[in-house]
Amino acid sequence: MRVELLCTGDELVTGLITDTNSPWFEAQLFQLGVKVDRTLLVGDVRPDITQALLEVASRADVVLVSGGLGPTLDDFTLECAAAAAGVPLVEDPQVLQWLKERYAQRNVPLNPGAFRMARVPQGAEVVRNPLGSAPMVILRLGRARLFFVPGVPREYRALAEGEVLPRIRALLGSDPERVYRAFRLLRTVGIPESQLDATVAPLVPQHPRVVFGFRTHAPENHLKLMATAPTQAEADAALAAAEAASRQLLGTAVFSADDEEYASVLAKLLTRAGATLATAESCTGGLIAQQLTAVSGASTFFIGGAVSYAEKMKVAWAGVPSEVLARHTAVSRETASAMAEGVRAVCGTTYGLSVTGYAGPTGGTSEDPVGTVYCALAAEGAPTRSERFSLMGDRDRVRLFAATSALEMLRQRLLAGPSVP
Amino acid sequence: MRVELLCTGDELVTGLITDTNSPWFEAQLFQLGVKVDRTLLVGDVRPDITQALLEVASRADVVLVSGGLGPTLDDFTLECAAAAAGVPLVEDPQVLQWLKERYAQRNVPLNPGAFRMARVPQGAEVVRNPLGSAPMVILRLGRARLFFVPGVPREYRALAEGEVLPRIRALLGSDPERVYRAFRLLRTVGIPESQLDATVAPLVPQHPRVVFGFRTHAPENHLKLMATAPTQAEADAALAAAEAASRQLLGTAVFSADDEEYASVLAKLLTRAGATLATAESCTGGLIAQQLTAVSGASTFFIGGAVSYAEKMKVAWAGVPSEVLARHTAVSRETASAMAEGVRAVCGTTYGLSVTGYAGPTGGTSEDPVGTVYCALAAEGAPTRSERFSLMGDRDRVRLFAATSALEMLRQRLLAGPSVP
């Protein structure tokens, strides 16, 4: 089955808006085993849209056309469709009725723009839009089925998912070349993309039905597994085998699969261990506390975070002895340890986690240049662990990876065993 | 001048990657007065790419083609270009020399994949890639000029900006229909998008050369002004007039123009006033401290931030009297005021800023449901100001707008006059 996407709108060819509808729909189709052949973006120019409709209809079995269905004068996609099909635009009584109901509900009089939305190419099928005024329109042009939907992302997705995909699925049912797919996203931290790639490389020839893909979402690196097979059961089995083998090689670097966020994983580990946490942050300035408290229910494990930016606040809030600061400076292994131990004591928690470092672009010393970060983890009844990290990149990146480096010390500790001795 | 963009790659038609190169380049061209006619994304299928090249070349004066120039077997865009032009692929000695230098620099032997990158359509012009191996290639096809660049965003942008745009600018010099443009982005907070629209609506008919556009980037709303005129001077003058009129209507809701971030504006105001700041956050969990410390040099004004999540930390770090908590609860105007005053006293700063509230999805009371947030601003020698906000949306959105509501109290105060009495 040949599928093409056609998106209309000046905003799409002038850089004002990035088309995110198409990648979303392409991914939906790909999961059904269908690869889109072409995605075409055209500005609001009548002859260009008409010409594009004729071209896509000459090649494709199914075309999703979006944009230009609204009430304003630059909405003329259906006009172009009628011209391409050689039929007139006619007022559809069913659509007019939907519009009347919708406008009445909102106490707005039906204006000339609204009437425009009721005019569809003669012979077209119409489908009600659950979230907006402009209906979905289905038109046969040659052997192609054209589905017209609004470009507004909410309405696009509702109609594409609720109305277009089921129709494509039905058409696929009778397609002898149909293939099936299964996906898994394994999310890792603490392992560079090139190392992730090299680690799983030996698996690739052993799993011929699975494509191994890599993506970076700093500070995370993702391994995307995609299985393709003639039946869904075979695709699922191929995926499960590749996933198990990948997890074995990557170990605890994999913190979650698919949609689960890092902070949410850590929240679960803390909650399961019945542990509580306090943080003392310097260069990360609250980034760790903010990530953890983004999780609903964080108050069960998160007691407090000191953003001890000035030295005196490291003393006052995190209980760092002035002598430690005087002897070792604020950016040192000793200060990081004192911050972790101090904040744990002040907050009375199971764990105390700290970060201090030079995020840049200025600061640093010859021994500890910009990008140097010390993290420490203090735990009830256990020696405090501290680590030094040399991080690359700009201020934002150093802060991001500093936060992750600290959180990883905690996650690995929680994975290693019971939190309270 | 007709310009089209052609992007190749399976990842672009399967939803794996969103094409952000094209919107970026479209915006660059639009600033030059050129609107792209079509942007076409095609998968890695030889006949589809060859056919697409012939189509775009039959219509456009200039085509930017991206992707498929690398060393692997699925990189065959130049093969398709040679087929479309009816010429053979030939090894280019200049490109081979560049590749040898690049591989020698990295101590990597030239492999068969590298040799592939040296094969270009006969008669094509080549341009060195400053950031990668695959060169840029320029080919005439009919009356069209085709520019081939890699799809990797860094390399795409470097070549599009450094090599393609100057050539388009030179071609435009002789274009009698050329128009000129000027842009300004006015960034606002604290004013809903619909109100922003309604406020500047009366200006629209008075500035016929300027398009007024609106965009939401929560928690900010942006007014985009775009002037078009036959000369650059007229475009600049039309823009300046529309900007001045818009600023007069919007007042201090406009916090910056173009690229300047909110936190950076606040940092400048604090630094200019010689003022220092401490924060005490509950439901925002460090979001305010994290935003402010993202600004380089934050240590000149930011002393410390208490993420006093548990009640006892509001007492210990922000000096909130236990009686206030007992009588008014943690989410109350009184607690917010005590947090702001307490953290200011503990840190010895000019200002103390606080937030406490119910971010949801659980919690809240019948008087103060989820979304209720109290913020307070304490200042040296002035009465403490506190405000109650009713915020809509999910946990992330409530936290984001809570942080902005608090920061706005500080920004408006700093704008109103000298900080220290």
The residue of chain A nearest to residue B22, with distances taken between CA atoms, is: A15
- Which residues of chain B have a CB within 8 Å of the CB of A193? none
CA dist B348 and B329 (Å) reads 26
SS3 category, B267: helix
Distance CA B11, CA B18 (A): 8
CA distance B282 to chain A (A): 9
Kindly determine whether residue B14 and residue A20, on different chains, have CB atoms separated by under 8 Å: no
Candidates B43, B297, B346; nearest CB to A35 = B43
Pairing verdict, β B372-379 and A372-379: unpaired
What is the mean pLDDT of the segment spanning B300-322? 97
Cβ-Cβ contacts under 8 Å, B299 against chain A: 309-310
Listed range (A39-48, B153-162, B211-220) with the worst mean pLDDT:
B211-220
What does the pLDDT look like over A102-112, one tens digit per residue? 988 888 788 87
pLDDT per residue as tens digits for the range A339-364 = 999 999 999 999 999 999 999 999 99
pTM score, whole prediction: 0.85
Residue bearing tokens 């006015």: B186
A49 pLDDT higher than 90: yes
Distance (Å, whole) CA B322 – CA A242 = 56
* pLDDT 10s digits, A357-406: 999 999 999 999 999 999 999 998 999 999 999 999 899 999 999 999 99
Cβ-Cβ contacts under 8 Å, B30 against chain A = 14-15
Residue of B293, B339, B407 to mutate for A, most A C-beta atoms under 10 A: B293
Q: Which of A22, A307, A347 has its CB closest to that of B289?
A: A307
Mapping DSSP to helix (H, G, I), strand (E, B) and coil, where does residue B268 land? helix
Q: Which of B23, B41, B283 sits opposite A15 (nearest CB)?
A: B23
Question: In the numeric block, which tokens belong to residue B103?
Answer: 């591989």
| Burial class, A192, CB count within 10 angstroms (exposed 0-12 / middle 13-18 / buried 19+) | exposed
**Residue A133 and residue A102 in contact, taking contact as beta carbons nearer than 8 Å:** yes
Dig out the tokens for B110 from the structure.
């030239």
Q: Check whether A11 has a pLDDT greater than 60.
A: yes
Per-residue pLDDT band at B418 (split at 50, 70, 90): low
The CB density around residue B211, as the number of other CB atoms within 10 Å, is 15
Q: How confident is the model at residue A192 (pLDDT cuts 50, 70, 90)?
A: confident
Between CA A264 and CA A256 the distance in angstroms is 10
Rounded to an integer, what distance in angstroms lies between the CA atom of residue A355 and that of residue A403? 7
Q: What is the pLDDT of residue B138?
A: 98
Q: What is the pLDDT of residue A351?
A: 98
Say if residue A147's pLDDT is above 90. Answer: yes
Question: What are the tokens at B175?
Answer: 């274009």
When pLDDT is averaged across residues A214-223 and rounded to a whole number, the result is: 88
CA atoms within 13 A on the CB side of B213: 13
d(CA A258, CA A264): 13
| Nearest-CB residue to A313 (from B39, B286, B303) | B303
B27 contacts A362? CB cut-off 8 A = no
What tens digit of pLDDT does each residue of B123-139 get?
A: 999 999 999 999 999 99
Picking from A387-391, A416-420, B88-92, B202-206, which range would have the lowest pLDDT averaged per residue? A416-420
pLDDT-derived band at B166 (thresholds 50, 70, 90) equals very high
pLDDT at A215: 81
Q: What letter does residue A110 receive in the DSSP assignment?
A: -
pLDDT digits (tens, 9 = 90+) for A27-40: 999 988 899 999 99
pLDDT for the residue A421 = 43
In B, which residues are within 8 Å of A29 by CB distance? 15
Inter-chain CB proximity B40 and A38 less than 8 Å: yes
Distance CA B369, CA B360 (A): 9
CA distance A290 to chain B (A): 5
**So what's the pLDDT on residue A419?**
46
Q: What is the pLDDT of residue B420?
A: 45
pLDDT class for B16, splitting at 50, 70, 90?
Answer: confident
Domains parsed from chain B with CATH numbers: 3-173 (3.40.980.10), 180-257 (3.30.70.2860), 262-416 (3.90.950.20)
Contact list, B301 vs chain A (CB under 8 Å): none
Residue partners of B287: CB distance under 8 A and separation at least 6: A286, A290, B281, B399, B400, B402, B403
Nearest CB neighbour to A14, from listed B20, B26, B316: B26
Answer yes or no: do B307 and A297 touch at CB < 8 A.
no
Percent of chain B at pLDDT above 70? 99
Best CA proximity match to B307, nearest among B284, B333, B329, B275: B284
Residue of B290, B299, B362 for testing the chain A interface, max A β-carbons within 10 Å? B290
Structure tokens at B127: 């341009």
Q: Which residues of B touch A19 (CB under 8 A)?
A: 18-19, 23
pLDDT-based confidence at residue A418 (cuts at 50, 70, 90): low
Q: What is the ipTM of this complex?
A: 0.84
Contact residues for A204 (Cβ-Cβ < 8 A; gap 6+): A212
Mean pLDDT rounded to a whole number for chain A: 94
Q: Do A362 and B292 touch (CB under 8 A)?
A: no
Per the document, the length of chain B is 421
A225 neighbors A242 (Cβ within 8 angstroms): yes
